Structure 1
Amino acid sequence: MPLCDKILPATVARMLKTVAALLIDYVAPFEFGVVAEIFGIDRTEDGVPAFEFRVCGEKAGEPLPTTVGMQVIPEYGLEGLVGADLVAVPAATIRDEYPAAVLDALRAAHDRGATLMSVCSGAFVLAAAGLLDGRACTTHWHHVDRFTERFPDIHLDPDVLFVDDGSIVTSAGTAAGIDAALHLVRRELGSAVATAIARRMVVPPQRDGGQRQFVDLPVPACTGDSLTPVLTWMLENLAEEHTVAALARRAAMSERTFARRFAAETGTTPHRWLSTQRVLHARTLLEETSMTVDEVARRCGFSTGALLRHHFQKLVGVAPADYRRTFAGRSA
């Protein structure tokens, strides 16, 4: 099953007619815009059923600041959640506490049978309401550590674009909200409706891959400086074969001492560290050159394209060719 489409057995089908977007102060306009674009625009001429779209805040008519220096004025208060088939919670600034009335309204909506959906950091709001307890979910990869530290008993999957856990759907950062929302449309109203909306938005109806392909993978650093010359030499000679014995000789250490020191300073083994560096170099070559996958493999030190594909898929989450289609020319 694709990483972007993690659908758990609890998934059930419902009709989707009324959608409420629940905003809190310092809401992220793009994430709110995702929900509004899919559910708030009349596309009946394209065969898309009309949605009743409600923009809700804690109090109707009270301006809410956003993360970009503008304001949004919700037409509805929390009463707008009553009767909604879907309550969407866009991203907002993460905080230690959220308005109690907002959390109570979300719990009540869930108890009434509404489907809940979060976009990006909106998962923090659902978690604060206790609605993700015992469930699988996701959020933006940048917030994973903060989320798991705050909610250690919630199972967070950091690799997927969205998780469908039946009555609650959570999505990763920003554009992953489009994937989750289109999935909900597909689930409730069928593929034809989801495809019609996607076509008007000029986005794919369903993306492959997960969040890992968008994560900037840092070069594993060493905490000391005794192996710096060896690490630098390895980076400059990725295409060559490197054995622990040869590297230990270069570091003027026994193999056992070298392996122990390497793990202490980099947090991993020489083989894993080298494989990671080769994949990182392969990402750059896929973005910036027209080399074939086999050529990239040889340039990075993988003996075959198949071996590159194996390590690339394992670390980045997508195949090299798929990564290139997404990111080619990005750096330029």
Structure 2
Amino acid sequence: MPSRPDLAHGEPLSVGFVLLHRFTLLPFAAFVDCLRLAADEGDRSRQLRCHWTFMTSNGQNATSSCGAAITPCVPLQDPGDFDYIVVIGGVQDERNRVDSEALAYLRRAASEKVPLVGVCTGVFALIQAGLMSGRRCCISWYHHRDLTRRFPSIEPVADRLFIDDGDIITCAGGASSADLAAYLIERHMGKAWAMKSLHIMLIDEARPGNYAQPQPVVFGKIEDRLVRRAITLLEQHLGESMSMDRLAERVGTSRRHLERRFRETLGVSPQKFARELRLRYGLWLLHYTGKSVTEIGERCGFADTAHFSRHFRSAFGMSPSDVRKRSGDSDGAPVDPHFLHIHDKAFS
């Protein structure tokens, strides 16, 4: 989407934030702080190159999910005052309230061609406002199952950080809000201002929208620091089959010593642990993305589809194609994210 004409003449980038009940604090803070740091020289925080406004339906303080309150907030303003309207969603549960006034405001903004940004569960508000029909929406892997249950006609995407569809942008939330804010700042103000913000926030560079979300392969508490370091490296290289010699070198030990520590801590060799980790990543991708079995095998670091399928069937008792078919069956239960957890002594 091109810059609006007024921005081309040096007018400030103006962003309105709609903060819903119990909104999530990190994505809001990451986004607005990126704007703040790009708005002025150094860390002076004057709203010179960027303007931002915090809004709630009633103009009262906005209370976040952690209990911190944001003030001052104002009632919902004219959508035409903003280059973007960013809606930050709140905690989702069965009793989740619907802010009818905020939804009507989002519909009005869309009708006036003001780009909307749904961050974290703000995507749910865009759906409830009737603005996501026929669209993909980016969502955190953590909220993927809840979205598909509540809104089965919507296509969720949980393997990237954000999706820019021009008039509507959706973002997974968390720290990726800083990446999205930097993306918008670069678009309107230039890369130097985006990088200035990120560097002050101690972020090396903005990740692109198609950057993969960290996947929910998590562990019970592991006391051994060497093993923890090795696991972190394996998580960072899920797309390749890292040799054990290289892994040992990266963590500063010998292969033999690393293998001994893995067996003492987890009951398996690092080779088997790494393969199981990549297979669980493949299982997650089969359930939560539309990538082909061939693409998933390659993304998980297997030499070819046959190699991936053989190990996958051995680990899970069914082929990748069977899992894909089951995940697409309306009667089939999606994988429980807890199934992906690997705990101490988990492998036989």
TM-score scaled by length of structure 2? 0.58
Alpha carbons of structure 1 residues 113 and 94: separation in structure 2 relative to 1, 3 Å: same
Corresponding residue SS for 2:130: coil
Letter matched to residue 71 of structure 2: I
Structure 2, unaligned runs of 5 or more: 220-237, 259-268, 286-294, 303-348
CA distance in 2, matches of 1:173, 1:86: 16
Per-residue deviation, residues 31-63 of structure 1 (Å, max 9, x unmatched): 221222022456432699611211111122x23
2 CA distance for matches of 1:165 and 1:140?
Answer: 17
Q: State the partner residue of 2:56.
A: 57
**Is residue 35–residue 185 contact of structure 2 (8 Å, CA) maintained in 1?**
no
Report the alpha carbon displacement of residue 114 of structure 1 after superposing the two structures with TM.
1.5
Out of 76, 82, 87, which is 2:85 matched to? Answer: 87
> Does structure 1 retain, via aligned residues, the 8 Å contact 2:38–2:196?
no
* Matched residue, 2:120: 120
Mark the CA change 1:212 to 1:44 in structure 2 (over 3 Å): closer, same or farther: closer
- Alignment-derived partner of residue 183 in structure 2: 183
Q: Which amino acid aligns with 1:44?
A: D
Residue of structure 1 equivalent to 2:216? 215
Q: What amino acid is the match of 2:207?
A: R
How far, CA to CA, are the matches of 1:167 and 1:64 in structure 2? Answer: 26
Q: Unaligned 5+ residue runs, structure 1? A: 1-10, 219-278, 321-332
Q: How many angstroms apart in 2 are the aligned matches of 1:40 and 1:317?
A: 37
What's the CA shift for 1:299?
A: 5.1
1:23 aligns with 2:19: yes
* Contact kept? 1:186, 1:194, Cα under 8 Å: yes
SS in 2 for 1:105: helix
TM-superposed CA distance for 1:66, in Å, is 1.8
Do the aligned residues in 2 keep the contact of 1:81 with 1:87 (CA within 8 Å)? yes
Partner residue, 2:172: 172
Query: SS of the residue aligned with 1:156?
Result: strand
Structure-to-structure mapping, 1:253-268, within 5 angstroms: none
In the TM superposition, residue 210 of structure 1 has moved relative to its aligned partner by 3.7
What is the correspondence of 1:1-332 to structure 2 with a 5 Å cutoff? 11-14=1-4, 15=7, 17-41=13-37, 43-45=39-41, 50-60=49-59, 62-79=60-77, 81-95=79-93, 96-207=96-207, 210-216=211-217, 290-291=249-250, 300=271, 314=296
Name the Cα RMSD after superposition.
4.1
The answer to whether the Cα contact below 8 Å between 2:38 and 2:193 also exists between their aligned partners in 1 is: no
Task: Please tell me the residue identity of whatever aligns with 1:132.
Answer: M
Change (3 A) 1:114 1:319: farther
Secondary structure of the structure 2 residue equivalent to 1:181: helix
Amino acid at match of 2:170: T
Local SS of the residue matching 1:178: helix
Q: In 2 relative to 1, CA 91–99 (structure 1 residues): closer, same or farther, beyond 3 Å?
A: closer
Call closer, same or farther: CA 1:300–1:119 in 2, change over 3 Å. Answer: same
Assess, with a 3 A threshold, how the Cα gap between structure 1 residues 196 and 142 changes in structure 2: closer, same or farther. Answer: same
Larger Rg computed on CA atoms: 1
Note the C-alpha offset of 1:167.
1.4
CA distance 1:73–1:45, change in 2 (3 Å): closer
Q: Residue 45 of structure 1: SS of its match in structure 2?
A: coil
- The answer on whether the counterparts of 1:20 and 1:80 sit within 8 Å (CA) in structure 2 is no
Once residues 70 and 298 of structure 2 are traced to their aligned partners in structure 1, the CA distance between those partners, rounded to angstroms, is 37
- Report sequence identity in percent: 23
Q: CA deviation at 1:105?
A: 0.6
Q: Quick one: distance in 2 between partners of 1:157 and 1:120? A: 12
Note the alpha carbon deviations across 1:218-256, whole angstroms, 9 max, x for none.
9xxxxxxxxxxxxxxxxxxxxxxxxxxxxxxxxxxxxxx
Aligned-pair CA distance for 1:82: 4.2
How far is 1:65 from its partner? 2.4
Over residues 82-136 of structure 1, what are the superposed CA-to-partner deviations in whole Å (9 max), with x where a residue is unaligned? 4111111123112554211100111111221212112211111111111121222
Distance 2:127 2:49 in 1: 30
Count the aligned residue pairs.
242
Looking at structure 2, the residues matched to 25 and 316 of structure 1 have their Cα atoms a distance apart, in angstroms, of 42
- Structure 1 residues 319 and 43 mapped into 2: Cα distance closer, same or farther (>3 Å)? farther
Contact 1:118 1:170 in 2 (8 A): yes
Query: Over residues 170-206 of structure 1, what are the superposed CA-to-partner deviations in whole Å (9 max), with x where a residue is unaligned?
Result: 1113011111121122223332222222122221332
